[in-house]
Structures are given as C-alpha cells and as structure tokens.
Amino acid sequence: MKILTGNDLATGDVVWWTGSGWSRHVEDAADVGDQGEAIAHAEEGARRVNSPYVIDGEQSDSGPRPAHIKDRVRALGPTVRPDLTLKPADPDAANRVL
Amino acid sequence: MADFLHFRDDAPHDEPAVTLDAFLGQSNAGAVRIESGEDVRSLLPHLSRIRLIEISFPTFRDGRGYSTARILREAGYGGELRAEGDVLVDQIPFMRRCGFDSFAPAAEVDEAVLGRALDRYDHVYQPAADARTPVWKLRHG
Amino acid sequence: MYRYDQYDQNIVDTRVAEFRDQVERRLSGALTEDQFKPLRLMNGLYLQLHAYMLRVAIPYGTLDGRQMRMLARIAREYDRGYGHFTTRQNLQYNWIKLSEAPDILADLATVEMHAIQTSGNCIRNISSDQFAGAAADEVTDPRPWAELLRQWSTFHPEFSYLPRKFKFAVIASDEDRAAMRLHDIGIQIVERDGTFGARIYAGGGMGRTPIIGKEIKDFVPVTNLLSYLEACLRVYNRHGRRDNMYKARIKILVNDLGAEEYARQVEEEFAAMETLDIDPPLAEFERIAGYFAPPAFDANAPDEVDRSDPDFAVWVDQNVKAHKQSGYALVTISLKPVGGIPGDASADQMDVMAGLAERYSFDELRVTHAQNIVLPHVKKADLYALWQRLSKAGLAEANLDLISDIIACPGLDYCSLANARSIPVAQKIAKRFSDAKRQRELGELKLKISGCINACGHHHAGHIGILGVDRKGTENYQLLLGGSGAEDVSLAKITGPGFDEAGIVDAVEKVTDVYLNARTEGERFVDTYRRVGMEPFKEALYG
C-alpha cells in the first residue's frame, strides 16, 4: 500500500492521511494508491500539512505499517523514551518498530 | 508587489548588459552582466566607464554574488549594482549591505514586507559596503 | 562572562521580532516551505522526525545559572521537560511547535540568549575549550577572542549564504579539549614576544570526508584577526564548490587547492582587506576581555581534599581536574549515567546544576563537546558538599573520559538524516561495561557514535568509533579504531564488515580485551592501537 505522511504545519506533529483528513495515528492511514502526490499538493497548498511525502507500507494485524524503519519510528516516537511515544503503556511497542 | 527595485538617485540604467567575455573583448558597452562564479576582478581596470553591473543569482542559495558586489564596491565602483534572479525579500537587506542598489527579482517582492525588513535592525556588528556604522565604532567613538 | 550592552540586546530583540514576522508569513501562506526553510534554519529551527527541533546557541559553551534556569523553564513550558546538549556546546529541544518558536526566542532574549545561526550555510556558534579561564595549561582565556568572532559573524552580510555551514573553534592551550583541528577553521591562541596572537588552521572537518585542519598562518594579532578571517571566508565563498553539497565544505577546497595555495590566496585577499577598516580597535577587544576577568578567588582557600569517603574519592579522581588557582578545581558533571541518553538533562537537573553553579562556581557553567557540563571554579573545600548534592540529583556518575562517557548523536530516534539509532547502542555498551572498576581498569577510552555519515557523533575522532548505516533497511554498525579529536588528533579507521546491534556491543568488548592483553604500562587504548596496529584487533573480531 501507499501511505501519505507529513507534519502538521503549526505543531510539527507527525500526521497520516486518513482519506478525508490527517490523523496522529498511523493506524488511521489510508491506502492512497496513485493519488498521493495530488493529495499532498492540495493539502500542502491549503497549509493543512507541511512537507508531505508518500511512502510504501503494508497492512499488518495492527493496521498499516510503514515499510521503512524511519517512518515506523516517526509513527511511534523515540524508542529510547517509551514515555514520550504514542504508546507509553505498551512496553513492547519499541520492539515492533524493528 | 514589485518586480524591480531601485535605491539610487539617478535613473535605472536600461542599456542591455553584455556578458563578461563580450565586455572584455573590446566592447564599448556601459553595462555588463556577471554570472555566478565569474571572476569580477577582471573588470576592475574598466570600472570608470561602466554604469551598470548586473550580478546573477541562479538560486537564492548561491551566495557568491555577495562577495562579487563587495569586491566591486571596495574597488571604488560607484555605478548601479543590480542583483538579478532568485532574490528573496529576506535577502535584500544583506544585499544592500554588500553594495547592491537595484534589484530585478524573478518573483515579485512585497514592498511592505521589504520595507519592514530594511528598517528593522538599528545596529550592525560589522562594517560592509554600505555606510552603516558598526557597533564597535559606536562603543568607542 | 560576557554581558550584553544596549547594542547586543537590541540586535537580539530585533531578531525575535524578525523571526516572529517570518513565522507569521509562513503560517499565513505568504511563504512556502521552500522559501521559509532557509529562514528558519538560520535560526536553528529544523523539522525533525517527530516535530520541530530548536537548537539554542550557547556561545563558546559558557552560561550562568539564570540562563540555565531559563533553559529548564523552556523545557517545561514549551517542550517535554528535557533538553539535549550537543557536540557543539549547544542545546536542542526536540518537541517544539512552530507557532510557539517566537515566544521561546523572546524568553531566551530576556537572558541574553538566542538561536541565531545555529543552522544554515553560515558561520555557526563559535565553540571553545570548556575549561577556558580555569585551565592550568592555558596561555590566556580564549573566550574574548571567541566573543569577538561571535559578534563579527552575527548577520555577516557577505557570509550568510556560504557553500555550506562553517564552524570555528578557539582554544588557548596545547591540550586540545575542543577538537579544534576538526573544525572548518581552528584557532589556537599563542604567545609570542609577550603578546597574544591567533594561529590559524583551515580545512578540518568530519562528515563523509574527514580531514585534519592544516596550519595556514602562524600568528595573527588580534587587531588583524577579523580582516584575516574575512579574507579566509571570502576565498571560500567565491571558490568553494557549490555543485555537490557533499564537497562544499572548506576542507574540500583546501584539500583540492593545497593548504599553501589556499593560504596564498587568503594573503592576497587579506592585503586588500587590511586597508578597509574592518578591524575593531584594540579597545574593543579589551572591553570584551574585561568581562572575562577571573572571579574573586579566595587566595587562602585550602588545597587539601578530605578523601575519606571512598565513593567521593573515586569521583574526584575521575571528574575533577586541576585549576590554575590553588584551592580550586574544575568539576565535570557527567550527563552519561549508565543506561541514560548521552547529553540529555531533565528540566529539574538543569535547575539543580544552575543552583550548584550559583552556590559553588561563581555562577558559571560550561557545556563540553563531549556533552557534559562543567562547573569551572569550585573551591576544593566545597567538593564534598557539591558531590553529595550531585549524587542526590543523579548527576554524580564518575566516568569522565571512560568507556561509558560516550558521545552519541540523537540518531534515528530523533533525527531525520539518521540511518540507524545511536542512543540504544550507547546504552547497551554502557550497560555491558557498567562495572565501575572495569571501566577504570580500561582507563581513558573515548567512544563516539554517529547514526549516519554526517558524523555529528564524532565517530572519526573516537578511540573507538561507531558508525550506524542502513543495510537493506536494517540497522548496521561499522566499527572504527584509533581516532582522536584532541592534541594527538587522528582519524579512526574502519575495522571491516559491520555488525548488528548486539554484535557491535560484543565487538567493542573484544577490542577492549585485545587492548588489555597487549597494553604496556601507562598505555591508553589508543596508544596500544597505534603501537600494535589494526591486525590484532581484526584477528579478534573476524578471526
């Protein structure tokens, strides 16, 4: 699958395109097919996202999973500070990034 | 919005600028265009008969033109010195300090934004090609 | 330390207003990201993996308690309660909102701080010796020279769009605690016939092509320093490569031209420059130097230290260094607890350090390029009380320059350029060697980890260096041996094929075992490596 991601312009938060808007959670990411660039262009123009880009991903048991480790770290947060990630209560979350 | 800016008392010099090679090949031209990366020092013997030097900025990241401008002013060039190309509004204050006094930016410049930028700093730390007094001179009279 | 006058304060305050205007134009859509990026970078604001990152300048690594408390307050109010001290003596916040960045800069300006030129292709924060003004071996305090450079380089109109970033380091002793020779321009202040001058090294750097800086000028008096440096920068700005960002640093130009030819071109430029009234008068240098006068030391302070508490004695032996004033000492606070994140400090720890500086060190702190904090002027009689307070705050790790005192870049946990994570590797190595006796047995061993080829973690300059790379989508770590960023400067060499995360920890242990078996009396790891060469280490690693 193709996933569209970027950062919120004002806050810098990592965001994922859901098909109708932007979510902080990669689990909400939609498969954008070949529409990623077009959506990115429109959304960036409207300042709803900063520096969007399309990545490869796959559907897993827990939802969409970015193909590259860098985007999996982005999706979770720093593996060395579980308390600052999106899954602070899940001790195994960092291992699933690998 | 403006696509040409001029900070001189005389009128803009509108003669088409020739290339550095053409100029050095015995041209009678009074206007010359310096591409980024060309050595402007070859112009120094001829400065008294030049009225416009246009310095090209192919991208705003290419800062060679700032040195080119200062070299010309340090050598005593008093004619029009124009920055042409990818010139961004936030860069114009530094360009003014390096001796540029006219601008032909590829994209139009918001004059209100430029006005704020040019008036913003009361003080500068170092002398350059403009008349501004560095703070060390203010401190020591 | 230096204090802003009305002019310095006015310039920094104006910068806040300017950046507020630029941020507003970005948020309103008047600026695209492409246009805004060089503007925000010129103010140290990056878009990183998880959020915006703000790098705050700590000029030549010197700050006072009030400034450290402000860094703590910003960490609490605008970030997530901590900051990261970097290898260029700066501080980074990892969770900044663009919309709040102007307010942060306004708060910083109230304590004479800023983020000016902490990124971008301009002259960056000037770094220096963390022991400046206190080291027993310095000829003079290098910081007035560094402050002179700070002011000259701030908003320099000609040198704000250089081919690439430009880093200065200034030291004033033969011992190099600032990796001076690995900077674009390194300056050593030396004494000749009773006056001080700058010995200039050019073209050093790390990154993907590490090069040791070469001497291009043996002595520049302070009254010519800025015009000489202006000439150095102008030659670079005009002739440095702009076609390939990986070949754009001055080290490539100096290497391609040869140091002698580069020096000749600088001299030619300098001959013209010298006449232009670029240099401030000596009175300006003296004005600045006046701020760096030694504090009011107690001449009768006792020189003895009560070492009866054995844990305290271990810390003194490791983290306390000789001061030029009898009765005083230099204290390094390690930000490298075993299992911690190298260089990170919580807001609470920053407040503790600020308080200790105010109470015990004439209100001064320093940041080191090895990501630790220094209290530069501590009475020996106060060391025990200081150590007890540091212990309570988790800041008394006695590991300065030992294998767990690791330099590590933020790596793939935070940095969008990284190929591999650095911090977990640092943590696992520190845990493997967590036995304090074992670390002391290994002696001075500088281990440095970078998560990509850009070498922010100084791996080329590590006695042991580790470079994280991306091998087909998985993290892989190359091992390097024999580097040094100190006065015995050298570049580390790769041992051979890389390792996975567990493998690199084992590999580090193996090379330390080779050292322990091969060393002679008094040899450090790097000395043994230099004597026996790579082979025995390779044999142990790859057999």
CATH number of the CATH domain containing C168? 3.30.413.10
Domain count, chain B: 1
Residue C280 token pair? 């401030």
pLDDT, residue B1, reads 87
Residue from B40, B57, B59, B90 to probe the interface with C (highest C Cβ count within 10 Å): B90
DSSP state of C281: P
Three-class DSSP category at B77: coil
Alpha carbons C171 and C266: distance in angstroms, whole number: 22
Angle made by CA atoms C272, C276, C282, in degrees to the nearest 5: 115
Q: Please answer yes or no on whether B139 and C234 come within 8 Å at the CB atom.
A: no
Please compute the mean of the pLDDT values over residues C481-499 and round it to a whole number: 98
Binned at pLDDT 50, 70 and 90, residue A70 comes out as very high
Q: Is the pLDDT of residue B27 over 80?
A: no
Chains that touch C (3 or more CB pairs under 8 A): A, B
Task: Give C92 to chain A, closest Cα distance, Å.
Answer: 15
Q: Using CB atoms within 10 Å of the CB of residue A50, give its burial: 0 to 12 exposed, 13 to 18 middle, 19+ buried.
A: buried
Same domain, C269 and C153: yes
Closest residue in B to C238 (Cα) is B64
Residue from B126, B130, B140 to probe the interface with C (highest C Cβ count within 10 Å): B126
Q: What is the pLDDT of residues C128-145, one digit of tens each?
A: 999 999 999 999 999 999
Same domain, C157 and C273: yes
H or E stretch at C466: strand C464-471
- C117 falls within a domain: no
Same domain, C487 and C359: no
* Residues of A whose CB is below 8 A from C451: none
Binned at pLDDT 50, 70 and 90, residue B69 comes out as very high
Q: Please answer yes or no on whether C421 and A47 come within 8 Å at the CB atom.
A: no
Question: What Å distances lie between residue C449 and A16, C109, C132, C443, C460, CA to CA?
Answer: 31, 33, 26, 19, 9
Same domain, C31 and C105: yes
- C294 falls within a domain: no
Task: Give B141 to chain C, closest Cα distance, Å.
Answer: 11
Chains that touch A (3 or more CB pairs under 8 A): C
Nearest to C445 by CA among C493, C479, C399: C399
pLDDT, residue B141, reads 78
3-state secondary structure C148-165: HHHHHHCCCCCCCCCCCC
CATH number of the CATH domain containing B97? 3.40.50
pLDDT, residue C147, reads 98
Nearest to B37 by CA among C167, C163, C123: C163
Count other C-beta atoms under 10 Å from residue C428's C-beta.
16
* Residues of B whose CB is below 8 A from C152: 125-126
pLDDT, residue C293, reads 97
Q: Please answer yes or no on whether A11 and C413 come within 8 Å at the CB atom.
A: no
Please compute the mean of the pLDDT values over residues C428-456 and round it to a whole number: 97
The phi and psi torsions of C288 (rounded to 5 degrees) equal: -65, -45
Angle made by CA atoms C495, C500, C505, in degrees to the nearest 5: 70
Nearest Cβ partner for C50 among A67, A68, A77: A77
Domain extents for chain A? 2-97
Three-class DSSP category at C62: strand
Q: Is the pLDDT of residue A59 over 80?
A: yes
Q: Is the pLDDT of residue A62 over 90?
A: no
pLDDT, residue C90, reads 97
C103 touches chain A (CB under 8 A): no
Please compute the mean of the pLDDT values over residues C383-405 and round it to a whole number: 98
Note the ipTM here. 0.97
Closest residue in C to A75 (Cα) is C50
Q: What's the CA dihedral at C69, C91, C19, A84 to 10 degrees? A: -90
For a pLDDT cut of 90, what percent of chain C falls above it? 98
Same domain, C152 and C276: yes
Q: Is the pLDDT of residue A96 over 90?
A: no
Alpha carbons C543 and C538: distance in angstroms, whole number: 7
List, in order, residues 6 or more apart from C388 with CB less than 8 Å away. Answer: none
Q: Please answer yes or no on whether A12 and C414 come within 8 Å at the CB atom.
A: no
pLDDT, residue C164, reads 97
Q: Which domain holds residue B57?
A: 5-140
Q: Which domain holds residue C271?
A: 142-289
Closest residue in B to C22 (Cα) is B90
Question: What Å distances lie between residue C357 and A65, B97, C353, CA to CA?
Answer: 48, 42, 6
Nearest Cβ partner for B98 among C157, C242, C280: C157
Q: What is the pLDDT of residues C302-327, one digit of tens each?
A: 999 999 999 999 999 999 999 999 99
Per mean pLDDT, which range of C57-71, C268-282, C445-459 is the poorest? C268-282
Same domain, C90 and C199: no
Closest residue in C to A73 (Cα) is C413
Q: Please answer yes or no on whether C474 and A69 come within 8 Å at the CB atom.
A: yes
Nearest Cβ partner for C157 among B68, B97, B110: B97
Question: Are residues B86 and B106 in contact, defined by beta-carbon separation less than 8 angstroms?
Answer: yes
Which of B1 and C113 is assigned the larger pLDDT? C113
Number of helical H runs and strand E runs in chain A:
3, 5
Same domain, C251 and C384: no
pLDDT, residue A91, reads 85
Binned at pLDDT 50, 70 and 90, residue B96 comes out as very high
Q: What is the pLDDT of residues C367-393, one digit of tens each?
A: 999 999 999 999 999 999 999 999 999
Binned at pLDDT 50, 70 and 90, residue B26 comes out as confident
Same domain, C151 and C272: yes
Q: What's the CA dihedral at C109, C110, C111, C113 to 10 degrees? A: 0
Strands C185-192, C168-171: pairing kind: parallel
Q: What is the pLDDT of residues C164-205, one digit of tens each?
A: 999 999 999 999 999 999 999 999 999 999 999 999 999 999
Please compute the mean of the pLDDT values over residues C268-278 and round it to a whole number: 90
Domain count, chain C: 4
Q: What is the pLDDT of residues C225-265, one digit of tens each?
A: 999 999 999 999 999 999 999 999 999 999 999 999 999 99
Question: Which segments within C146-240 are labelled E, that is strand?
Answer: 168-171, 185-192, 195-202, 214-221
Residue from B111, B135, B138, B140 to probe the interface with C (highest C Cβ count within 10 Å): B135
